[in-house]
Amino acid sequence: GAVVSQHPSWVICKSGTSVKIECRSLDFQATTMFWYRQFPKQSLMLMATSNEGSKATYEQGVEKDKFLINHASLTLSTLTVTSAHPEDSSFYICSAPAGNTDTQYFGPGTRLTVL
Amino acid sequence: GQQVMQIPQYQHVQEGEDFTTYCNSSTTLSNIQWYKQRPGGHPVFLIQLVKSGEVKKQKRLTFQFGEAKKNSSLHITATQTTDVGTYFCAGPGSGNTPLVFGKGTRLSVIA
């Protein structure tokens, strides 16, 4: 099946620094990718929709200036957490739709810890 | 907006016992999907149900979609330790939202 990769798998950073997370579709093209955040023992919460060649669409309550999304190509979307704070510590997961279905292929996730 | 409710939140079973998680939607769903997330891992697609009253099986897992297409269930027969994880149901979202996830059911299997 289709594979989605994420890098890095985990990152620890100091408060105030910025962290970039990459999401790649390895064997298929994705004009749209999705970024989720998952806090411990909670469900996945959609943060934004990444659109190749256009601006990302953010969910209500998600600060677009803090979570910068760039969909540079048909196989790569990046999420940059700017000026990270401890409350941004979470599990960030990207996904890409499988063909013309509603099914999503999820990346392995990036665990961010902000000290 | 659309909501997908899932119960129970947690379930602890002895190995060999059966397990069921239930999912209910406030609206009729065109389809429902089930995902499994192992501890520390990411959600992995299990199955999609589309038809009213549909029943699908994957080895010890049985998935059902209600006649009204508002509820679904996942039943695991004779659980094994490899079944440990959180099971999420998800319905299609509206607008740009791809999926609306239930809160998940966390399954623990005691050997």
Taking CA atoms, A68 is separated from A20, A73, A93, in Å, by 9, 16, 15
A85-104 mean pLDDT: 88
Q: A21 or B26: which carries more pLDDT confidence?
A: A21
Residue A100 has pLDDT above 80, yes or no: no
**CA distance to partner chain B, nearest, from residue A106 (Å):** 6
**Interchain CB contact of B48 with A (< 8 Å):** yes
Residue-level pLDDT, tens digit, chain B, 111 residues: 668 999 999 999 999 999 999 999 989 999 999 999 999 899 999 999 999 999 999 999 999 999 999 999 999 999 999 999 999 999 988 776 788 899 999 999 999
Sign of the C-alpha dihedral, residues B35, B37, B43, B46? negative
- CB distance B42–A93 less than 8 Å? yes
- Residue B96: the pLDDT is 66
Beta-bridge mates of residue B14: B110
* A-chain residues near B31 (CB < 8 A): 102
- Residue B3: the pLDDT is 83
Quickly count helices (H) and strands (E) in chain A: 0, 11
A32 vs B33: CA distance, rounded Å: 19
For chain A, positions 89-108, list CB contacts with chain B under 8 A.
Answer: 93, 95, 97-98, 101-108
**Interchain CB contact of A59 with B (< 8 Å):** yes
A52-74 mean pLDDT: 92
A88-105 mean pLDDT: 87
Q: DSSP secondary-structure letter at A26? A: S
**CA distance to partner chain B, nearest, from residue A102 (Å):** 7
Q: In this predicted structure, which of A6-20, A52-66, B48-62, B76-90 has the lowest mean pLDDT?
A: A52-66
Buried b (16+ CB within 10 A) or exposed e, A28-40: bebebbbbbbbee
Side-chain half-sphere exposure of B66, counting CA atoms within 13 A: 13
